[in-house]
Amino acid sequence: MELSRRRTLPLLLLPGTLCVGGFFVLPLAFILRESFLGEGGRMTLSLYVQYIQDPKFYRVFLRTLKFGLLVTLLSALISYPASYAIARTERGKKSILMSIVILPLMTSPVARTYAWIVILGRFGLINQTARALGVIQEPLRLLYTEGAVVVGLLQLFLPLMVLNLVSAMENIPPEIEEAAQSLGAPRWVSFLKIIVPLSADGLVMGSVLVFTGSITAYVTPAILGGTKVLTLATLLQQETVVFMNWGNATVISVVMTGMALLLYLLLRKTRPKIS
């Protein structure tokens, strides 16, 4: 049995490894090599040095990080009490609540983001309402702003935070809280001292997923930010399709991939249990 197991292992892993190796690792390695290639085939950092000093890249890079932090923070704040409420509802109701939470995750991101055009557009919900109430005369420009992108990203990634928090909170026996409360702790104290620390794994996991998702998302900044509010992902598209500047696009690719992989590996190292 043991011998035949050892013999089947390569057979099990080989086809998948060839696929990932050939169609994922190889093209990415090619890009990475390109990014260091100078004139005459020498290795150089000049592509990075040039582009990172470009104020446009710099601005977009910082804005992308800002979006990531803001969306992560807001989604944690919104999700914490709501996830607690979901975790503490009875089974039947909880499965309905959870299937509504995962619905946006399964929906076409284009359709989901289009909803924000209906809300924020020139003739959208907010502008029409404000005009009808006489608050404004001319429609406000709400689309193609940083706020629009943040709101869109928030709706996109909230479900990930909720899923992780709920699954962490479900595992906390309600008896611990009951004990704290019967000993006189007010409910908010037992929430802060019991629920928050015991759901920290879910919060970390959710935060990394939301942050990584926000700094790499394409559809939301493309539709709600356009060329006015570029992020790394939409800048990469612009450099490739509009300017055909392979060098710049390569640098952006390496920077984005580096950040995403680094966060993932950090998560794996520090929380082996949950990844």
Partner 1 sequence: MKESRFLLFSLVFLYVFLIGPFFLIFLTSFGSESIMTFPPKGFSLRWFAKVFTVRMFLDSFWISLWIGILSTLTALILGVPVAYALVRHSFPAKGVVEVVFSSPAVVPGIVIGFALLRFFILMGNFPLVTGLFLGHTVILLPYTVRVVSAALRNFDPSVEEAAVSLGASPFRAFFLVVLPNIRAGVIAAFILAFITSFNNVPISLLLTGPGIATLPIQMLIYMEYYFDPTIAALSTLLILLTILIVQGAEKALGISQYV
Q: Report the site for partner 1 in 76-105 (rule: CB under 8 A).
A: 78-79, 81-82, 84-86, 95, 98-105
- Residue 259 has which token pair? 């950040």
| Range in contact with partner 1 (rule: CB under 8 A) among 19-27, 58-66, 142-150, 194-202 | 19-27
Q: Which of 66, 121, 196, 198 binds partner 1 (CB under 8 A)?
A: 121
**Is the Cβ of residue 63 or residue 112 nearer to partner 1 in the bound state?**
112
The piece of 7-15, 43-51, 141-149, 198-206 that touches partner 1 (CB under 8 A) is 7-15
- Pick one of 76, 144, 172, 240: the residue that binds partner 1 (CB under 8 A): 240
The residue within the footprint of partner 1, chosen from 3, 43, 111, 183 (CB under 8 A), is 111
Token output for 48? 């990075």
Are 162 and 97 contacting, i.e. CB atoms less than 8 angstroms apart? no
Helix (H) or strand (E) holding 142: none
Cβ 152 vs Cβ 116: under 8 Å: yes
Q: Is 131 exposed, middle or buried (0-12, 13-18, 19+ CB in 10 A)?
A: middle
Size of the site for partner 1 (CB under 8 A): 85
Task: Give me the least distance between CB of 46 and partner 1, in Å please.
Answer: 19
| Site for partner 1 contains 16 (CB under 8 A) | yes
Binding positions for partner 1, 50-79, rule CB under 8 A: 78-79
Contact, 225 vs 150, CB < 8 A? no
CB 197 within 8 A of CB 206: no
Task: Compose the 126-165 pattern: x for residues touching partner 1 by CB under 8 A, - for all others.
Answer: --x-------------------------xx--xx--xx--
Q: Are 187 and 181 in contact (CB under 8 A)?
A: yes
Rounded Cα gap, residues 142 and 151, in angstroms: 11
Q: Which is nearer to partner 1, 69 or 139 (CB)?
A: 139
- 220: nearest Cα among 67, 77, 61, 56: 67
